[in-house]
Amino acid sequence: MVAPTSMVHDRHTSGIQSERRDSTTLITFDNPEAFNAPMLRMINDLVVVLREADADRTCRAVLLTGQGERERALN
């Protein structure tokens, strides 16, 4: 795994984490207790991160992933 080049957001309290890896923004749903089901605050933070990625001309891809053994919301 490649080390992140810079951290964009750590919204761990809402269950969303994001980081930049070269030209990719990696967004991680981090609410495994609820099978990473999005809650309202998570969705609001996700929109903020996606808008920032969209405005960043160096961002070429966005990858969504989930923490835990069962990433159900993302399957």
Yes or no: domain 6-74 corresponds to CATH 3.30.300.220: yes
Domain boundaries, the chain: 6-74
Q: Is 15 left (phi over 0), alpha (psi -120 to 50) or beta?
A: left
Q: Model pTM?
A: 0.72
Task: Compute the distance between CA of residue 38 and CA of residue 55 in angstroms, rounded to an integer.
Answer: 23
Q: Higher confidence at residue 51 or residue 66?
A: 51
pLDDT digits (tens, 9 = 90+) for 23-54: 999 999 988 888 788 888 899 999 999 999 99
